[in-house]
Amino acid sequence: MPALPEHAVETATLSKTYASNGRRAPVEALRGVTLRIPRGSFFGLLGPNGAGKSTLINILAGLVLKTSGEARVWGCDVEREMRRARRAIGVVPQELNIDPFFSPRELLEVMAGLYGVPRRERKTDEILRAVGLEDKAEAYARSLSGGMRRRLLVAKALVHAPPVLVLDEPTAGVDVDLRRQLWAYIRKLNAAGTTILLTTHYLEEAEALCDTIAIINHGRLIACEPTEMLLRRLDSKQMAVTVEEDLAAVPESLRRYHGELRGARELVFSYPPSKVRGGEIMAAIAAAGLSVREISTKEAELEDIFLSLTRPGSAEGAQ
């Protein structure tokens, strides 16, 4: 048995330029992206619309040809070893591209046949049960709700048991309950060894699910770190303190902590926790003769980091 690859997905200086069509100039969708996704990880790929996420996914899936660089899936070059690379990856696209006149069972059987999965090795019923479509196995796909169709796309991507599963905005437009069901199942797949590559606009989703996150902007990779390390990048914390006394302004002694007065009694402090401790601010509040009624804090969130890296004018976003 061949050794398992260390990285489920690898790219090296991967670039893609879409040629001009007479009405627009050439578009650099990817600019020298080097990325390594460890086998078994739950990996998040984030970026604004038009950042290059879909182009990267389409190259990995064999749907778009790269301009230069290299891309491998499960150790197989996506162009030189196209068949092996495609068998190693399952893609759940954003678009609900389902034949409306087939039943879920028929769609999965057809897809398994296209991948060359022998009948005795197919797990059609098991997959339908796992995504909650067992009772709709014989219904026309056109009769399924949007959420059910989304689950059917996941099922289609799993028929050949790929070691790498790509989820491109899988919960866009999906209700909260269905989203929870979907993620419960995806977590099980990941725990069983499937490498997950997720793109999503729900930053709290990426923060909760992904062990590593990469951020792409204007075709360039501008960050790729374990989620916990990425969250520590933004050395910022916010503390809101409600006091018993009415205030007309922030006391002079508290202004060094960048205090802001909201309403008559709420003081909000923004500070770098690496340099200032919350206890120091609380001591200064007491020294100012104020009595604390309520206190709350807010740590840096993925959304804050994402915006700081991709906003116009930032060093990474301007590249």
Q: Over the stretch 185-200, which tens digit does the pLDDT of each residue have?
A: 899 999 999 999 999 8
pLDDT at 175 over 90: no
At residue 124, does pLDDT exceed 90? Answer: yes
Confidence at 234, pLDDT banded by 50, 70, 90:
low
Residue that finishes a domain, picked among 198, 226, 254: 226
Q: Structure pTM?
A: 0.77
Look at residue 207 in the predicted model and tell me its pLDDT.
Answer: 85
> What secondary structure letter does DSSP report for 292?
E
Q: For the chain, what is the domain count?
A: 2
DSSP state of 254: G
- Assign 318 a pLDDT band (cuts: 50, 70, 90): very low
What is the reported pLDDT for 206? 87
Q: In b/e form, how buried is each residue of 155-179, taking b as 16+ CB within 10 angstroms?
A: bbbbbbebbbbbbbbbbeebeeebb
Is 28 a residue whose pLDDT tops 50?
Answer: yes
Write down the residue that tokens 């804090």 correspond to.
297
pLDDT in tens, 255-297: 888 889 999 999 999 888 878 888 999 999 999 999 999 999 8
Q: Are 137 and 217 contained in the same domain?
A: yes
Of 226, 247, 276, which residue sits at a domain end?
226
> Which residue has better confidence, 300 or 65?
65
Angle between helices 176-191 and 146-158 (to 10 degrees): 10
Q: Say if residue 313's pLDDT is above 90.
A: no
In terms of residue numbers, what domain contains 164?
Answer: 7-226
pLDDT more than 70, % of the chain: 94
- Within a domain: residue 216? yes
Give the tokens for residue 190. 């990941």
Residue ending a domain, choose from 207, 226, 245:
226
- Average pLDDT value for the chain: 88
- Tell me the CATH number at 285: 3.30.70.1560
Q: What is the pLDDT of residue 238?
A: 84
- 113 and 191 fall within a common domain: yes
**Residue 141 is assigned to a structural domain of this protein:** yes
What is the arrangement of strands in the sheet containing 195-199, beginning at the earlier edge strand? Answer: 89-92, 164-168, 195-199, 42-46, 212-217, 220-226
- Whether residue 312 lies inside any domain: the answer is no
Residues 163 and 134 in one domain: yes
Same domain, 178 and 77: yes
Tell me which of 272 and 53 has the higher pLDDT: 53
